[in-house]
Amino acid sequence: MARLSGKTVVVTGAGTGIGEGTAQLVAAEGADVLLADINEAAASSVTDDLRQQGSNAEACHLDLADEGSIRAMIATALETFGRLDALVNNAAKTTLTAEDFGVENTDLRVWDETMHVNLRGTMLACKHALPALRASGGGAIVNIASGAALRGARGLTAYGVSKAGIITLGEYIAAQHGEEGIRCNTISPGIIITPKTYDAFGTPAQRNKVMPLMLSPRLGVPADIGAAIVWLISDEGAYVNGQCISIDGGQMSHQNYLMDALSGD
């Protein structure tokens, strides 16, 4: 039997990339799926594909900067499918990364907008999903953070800090709602090749630069994240709560960069 049969799952940022890959895997495991995205046309296109494959899917518009839009997303899931069993918070603000510098040079507008969408928006999605999960007898939330939340860097300060907040948010939700049968875990992806990240990491020249950082012989794809999400929200993941799981090909687990620097390589 499909692992998510009889469950309703909301996936945000489902029009492309990790969200799209997750929605496909969740649907393949038998779940009813609401695909939410600020680009509703993209979410609708993926929804049409899922329906052609025999899945029960619906699309809706989502603007994480607007609490009313978040509230409407949860209401749509309940009106369409009658229940909510899992929420996957994948959507995030990525259009400001070219302006996201070090602390001294980061414009307050970039900081505030990144925090408003990524951290505040994720918190609000959890807030409005919790009553629906409770009404279903419990459920699961998976929030998507980033490797940028786990280590410092010369840039992407606002993005990295917003994602670090998401990790801590997951721990607090787990602590506050675990006794109700509600689990909240976080995934921190490493380099995942999507249409948005291909130019940065996916071209042959860029791959040659980043592969020495990896322990895996390849870079990640959306299905690598989606497979973990399916496990976390299924009954197989029932004893996992309040955790942050890095899925990064081993990137964060070693320090080859330091050894190379010391050896002069």
> Does some domain include residue 48?
yes
**2 in a domain, yes or no?**
no
Contact indicator for 232, 241 with CB cutoff of 8 Å: no
Which whole number is the average pLDDT over 228-234? 98
Indicate whether 84 belongs to any domain: yes
Please report which confidence band the pLDDT of residue 1 belongs to, taking 50, 70 and 90 as the band edges.
Answer: low
Q: Is residue 163 part of a domain?
A: yes
In the structure encoding, which two tokens stand for residue 161, read together?
Answer: 């800090």
User: Per-residue pLDDT averaged across 198-212, rounded?
Assistant: 87
Model confidence over 101-128: pLDDT tens digits? 999 999 999 999 999 999 999 999 999 9
Predicted confidence at residue 163, as pLDDT, reads 97
Q: Annotated catalytic, 198? A: no
The answer to whether residue 23 sits within a structural domain is yes
Is the residue at 49 inside a domain?
yes
Looking at residue 131, its pLDDT comes to: 98
Three-class secondary structure of residue 214 per DSSP: coil
pLDDT surpasses 80 at 66: yes
What is the rounded (10 degree) CA torsion for 16, 236, 28, 133?
Answer: -70
Confidence category of residue 240, pLDDT binned at 50, 70, 90: very high
Query: Looking at the 3D structure of the chain, how many domains does it have?
Result: 1
Confidence of residue 155 (pLDDT cuts 50, 70, 90): confident
Q: What is the mean pLDDT of residues 24-28?
A: 98
Which CATH number does the domain housing residue 101 bear? 3.40.50.720
Q: For position 259, what pLDDT does the model report?
A: 65
- Whether the full predicted model's pTM is greater than 0.85, yes or no, is yes
Q: Evaluate whether residue 3 is within a structural domain.
A: no
Q: Which domain holds residue 251?
A: 8-263
Active-site position among 159, 172, 198, 239: 159
In a domain, 126, yes or no: yes
SS3 87: strand
